[in-house]
Amino acid sequence: MKILISYSSKDPLYEQIARQIKEHILRGELAPGEALPSIRNLARELQLSVITTKRAYEELEREGFIESVGGKGTFVSGQNGELIREKRLRALEHKLGEIVTESKALSLTLAELQEMLALIYEEG
Amino acid sequence: MNNILEITELRKTFKGFTLEDISFRLERGYIMGFIGPNGAGKSTTIRLIMNLINRDGGDIKIFGLDNIKFEREVKQRIGFVYDENYYYEELTLLEIKRFIAPFYRQWDDRAFMQYLHRFDLAPKKRVKELSKGMKMKFSLALALSHHPELIIMDEPTSGLDPVFRNEVLEILADIIQDETRGILFSTHITSDLDKIADYVTFINQGRIVFSEAKDSLLDSYALVKGGRELLDRDTRKEFVGIRENQFGFEALTRNATHTRSIFGDRVLVERATLEDIMLYTVRGNTSA
C-alpha cells in the first residue's frame, strides 16, 4: 500500500491519509477483511503524530470503509459491491463538479465541455 | 484516569524569575513537545518534575502518584535524559552501566547491550572518546534500559546535527509503539516536533501559552501575508503578531478560518510551523 504525504498541500494530513487509503480500497487493492497497519505503526512509518493517523482511521470508519475490532486491529470493511460502486459514483460526481467549476472559470460552454469530454472518452 | 503526568498550578520563584501556575497533562501513549525560548522555564519545570529543586506550590502527579511523596517509586519508572554530560570522562560505558544499573529494580542488561549495538556504541569505549551525538545516544541507552513508562528528556537534540536528531526522533517513535508509555521532550528546535509530536506545550516567561494537540494547533494557526493597506486598527486585532516591511506585512493568526473570511483573496494564507507560532508569540509586533 502506497501512502504519500505532502507538506505543501493545503489539505490536512489526516485527510491525505484517509483519501489514499480510500482509493486503495475503491480500486480493490485492499480487499475486504484485510488488516490495516496499526495507527502507531503508520505514524512511525510516515513520521507523523499518532493523533493524525488516528483521525484518518476515524474518518474512514465513519464512512464505513474500515472497521476496528477491539484489541485485534483495524480491517477493511466487508461491504458489498453495490455500496462501493455507489461511493465511487459519488466521488466521480464530486470530481465532475470540480471540472465544471474550472470550465466556468475558463468561460467554456456546456457544449464545448461535452465535446472535449467525448473526445477524451473515445480515446480512452 | 490515564494521565501519565499531571501538573497543576505549579509555582516556583527565583530571584528575577517566576514559574507561574503551570498546568498541563500528558496521556499515556503520546509524545509531548515542551517548547519555549531560552529562559522560559522549561528546565525549571523539568527539574521540578524530577524533584531536583523544591517547588513553592502546586501539584505534580506521575502515574497518579505525588512526585515527592512517592519519589523512589516514581523514579523507578522514569527514564530521564538531559543534555549535560554528567558521567566520569575516564570510565568506559560498561563501567558506568555497572554503577547505574543497581539503582533500578527493572534493569535489563540485554536491552542495554541491544541499545549499545543499535546506536553503534562500543561498550569498551571511554566517555571522553565519544562525540556529542554519541554521548546523547549513550544517555538514551542508559535511560531506556530499565523499561521506563515515562521518558523525560531535557533538550535531547540540542547541539546535534540533523542526521543524529532524526535518529533520536526515530527512536522516540519506536518507544511510543508501546501505547502504555509517554514522552515529554523539551526543545527549542521546534522542527523536531513539527512531525512526530502529538501534543505541544508552549511556555514563555514562566507561563503556559498553550498546551494542545499539535494537529489542531497547526490547523487553527496560519501565516498571513498581504499589503500594508489592509492593516488598520481593527484588522490588526486579528493577529498575534505582525511583521511589517516596506513591501507588505506578514502576520500570525490564531484563527485561520476567521481571517480568511475577513480578507478573502486579498491575502496569502499559509500553513504556520511551530517555529512561526513561537516567534510571533514571543516577539509580538515588530516593524522594519
Strand blocks (E) in chain B? 3-14, 17-27, 31-35, 57-62, 65-66, 78-82, 150-154, 182-187, 199-204, 207-213, 222-226, 239-245, 248-253, 268-271, 286-287
A2-53 pLDDT tens trace: 999 998 887 889 999 999 999 898 888 888 889 999 999 999 999 899 999 9
B186, B155 in Cβ contact below 8 A? yes
pLDDT of amino acid A123: 84
Q: Which of B173, B179, B215 has the CB atom closest to A44's CB atom?
A: B173
Domain ranges of chain A: 13-76, 81-123
ipTM exceeding cut-off 0.95 for this assembly: no
Task: List chain A residues with CB under 8 Å of B195.
Answer: 47-49
B107-157 pLDDT tens trace: 999 999 999 998 899 999 998 899 888 888 899 999 999 999 999 999 888
pLDDT of amino acid B288: 44
A88-121 pLDDT tens trace: 788 899 999 999 999 999 999 999 999 999 999 9
Q: Is the pLDDT of residue A85 over 80?
A: no
Does residue B169 belong to the interface with chain A, where contact is any CB pair within 8 Å? yes
Q: What nine digits make up the cell of B118?
A: 543499535
Which CATH number does A13-76 carry?
A: 1.10.10.10
B59-103 pLDDT tens trace: 999 999 999 999 999 999 999 997 666 678 889 999 999 999 999
pLDDT of amino acid B150: 97
Which domains does chain B show, CATH number per domain?
3-214 (3.40.50.300), 221-287 (3.30.70)
The phi, psi pair for B76, rounded to 5°, reads -60, -25
Contact A51 B214 (CB under 8 A): yes
Provide the pLDDT confidence category of residue A74 given band limits of 50, 70 and 90. very high
Interface of A to B at Cβ within 8 Å reads: 7, 10, 12-14, 40-41, 43-44, 47-52, 55
**Matching residue, cell 523539568:** B46
pLDDT of amino acid B38: 86
Across the range B252-272, mean pLDDT stands at 91
The phi, psi pair for A78, rounded to 5°, reads -90, 60
